[in-house]
């Protein structure tokens, strides 16, 4: 089953360090989404791509966050100068664009900032 995959699954870093996460979507899906989920909350939208174009960014996505999807396939999410408040689960989802858009989620990357 070639679902959405994310790497790494866990990341522990010290405050001030940069981290990068990778997401590989389902192969035929042209949309890719990033979410952040903290304990006791539902996923919060961060940004999404349609093919290689980044179409929307949430206000949650400060200038320390950047996401890319250079060839319209996998995507990376980078956080620069990490802060303790960045500790969360970062989820990736993919879908096929259309009015019946259904998102399929990966396992997430759990980030802990010490």
Partner 1 sequence: AQSVSQHNHHVILSEAASLELGCNYSYGGTVNLFWYVQYPGQHLQLLLKYFSGDPLVKGIKGFEAEFIKSKFSFNLRKPSVQWRDTAEYFCAVNPFGQNFVFGPGTRLSVLP
Binding stretches for partner 1 (CB under 8 A)? 33, 35, 40-45, 48, 56, 91, 93, 99-108
Q: Which residues of 57-69 are buried (b: 16+ CB within 10 A; e: fewer)?
A: eeeebeeebebeb
Contact 88/34 with Cβ under 8 angstroms? no
Nearer to partner 1 by C-beta: 35 or 86? 35
Cβ 14 to partner 1, closest distance in Å? 26
Cβ 11 to partner 1, closest distance in Å? 17
Cβ 43 to partner 1, closest distance in Å? 5
Nearer to partner 1 by C-beta: 74 or 104? 104
Q: Cα torsion for 21, 27, 30, 33, to the nearest 10°?
A: -30
Nearer to partner 1 by C-beta: 48 or 113? 48
Contact 46/61 with Cβ under 8 angstroms? yes
């Amino acid at each position: 089953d070639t679902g959405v995959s994310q790497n790494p699954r866990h990341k522990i870093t010290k405050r001030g360090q940069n981290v990068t996460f990778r997401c590989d979507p389902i192969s035929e899906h042209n949309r890719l989404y990033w979410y952040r989920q903290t304990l006791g909350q539902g996923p919060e939208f961060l940004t999404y791509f349609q093919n290689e174009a980044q179409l929307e960014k949430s206000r949650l996505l400060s200038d320390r966050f950047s996401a890319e999807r250079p060839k319209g396939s996998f995507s990376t999410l980078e956080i620069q100068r990490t802060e303790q408040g960045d500790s969360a689960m970062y989820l990736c989802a993919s879908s096929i664009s259309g009015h019946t858009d259904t998102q399929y989620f990966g396992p997430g990357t759990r980030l802990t900032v010490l």
